Amino acid sequence: MSAPVIPLDVQARETKPRRRWRGLVFVMLALLATAAIWLVWFSSVFVVRDVRVIGVTGSPAATVLASAAVPLGVPMARLDAGGATARIMLLPWVGSVEVRRGWPSDVILAVVPRIAIATQLGTGRGVDSSGLAFDAPGPLAENLPAIDADGVGLVAAVTVWQSLPAPLLAKVVGISASTRDDVELVLKSGAKVLWGSAEQGGLKAQVLAALLQRRAGVYDVSAPELPTTQQEKAG
């Protein structure tokens, strides 16, 4: 038995309402999208009302806040996070920063400050673990070692300093370098250690530990396979 044939005029009458409905849905979606864009990008609903700093407190936090110069009242979506980041990174003691949007109206400046592991002799600047000298936002910690070096020498000196085993580190009061290959240590006894480059640090430390059994003014472990001492003292 064959299926009934629906006249063309009936099909057309049934298709028109569906087309009108689809058109209405499209218009509604377009209106909603336009309203959402206006709400987020241009209205006063989602605007910056508070900017706060985490990672540092006190005067350093105030300095970060001033450097970021994030304007209040600007829509969150139009916040220039890149510009704020660049301005904060101009502070020499800032290691990194992340500008976060805390919807609906907060901006968080998450700062990681540089930590001084030493001081640069004669400058009052701190030196971080990468060998970078920087002006700290406040007083440096007491009893930090003094490093007499700059540029590549400073990087080499910091690398050596961080590689020293604790027993040897406790005997060292100063370190210097003018190149990457002439690092020198100054011991509490007043003796000098010619360390050389940062290479073979473990072997040099072992050789030096053995040499320290002898009293000398200079210990040379720059070539650890052929160590020498100078200005040996009796007793």
List of domains in the chain: 50-113 (3.10.20.310), 118-230 (3.40.50.11690)
pLDDT at 232: 77
36: left (phi over 0), alpha (psi -120 to 50) or beta: alpha
* The dihedral formed by the CA atoms of 197, 202, 205 and 211, expressed in degrees to the nearest 10: -100
How does the average pLDDT of the chain come out, rounded? 86
Range 145-154 average pLDDT: 94
Pick 4 or 56 by higher pLDDT: 56
How does pLDDT run across 112-136, given as a tens digit for each residue?
999 999 999 999 999 999 999 999 9
pLDDT confidence tier of residue 29, bands split at 50, 70 and 90 = low
Using the predicted structure, report yes or no on whether residue 230 has a pLDDT greater than 60.
yes
Closest to 73 (Cα-Cα) out of 52, 54, 50, 53:
50
pTM value? Answer: 0.74
Contact 147, 118 (CB under 8 A): yes
Using the predicted structure, report yes or no on whether residue 10 has a pLDDT greater than 50.
no
How does pLDDT run across 52-93, given as a tens digit for each residue?
999 999 999 999 999 999 999 888 888 999 999 999 999 999
List of residues 6+ apart from 10 with CB closer than 8 A: none
**231: phi then psi, degrees, rounded to nearest 5:** 55, 45
pLDDT confidence tier of residue 167, bands split at 50, 70 and 90 = very high
Q: What percent of the chain has pLDDT over 90?
A: 68
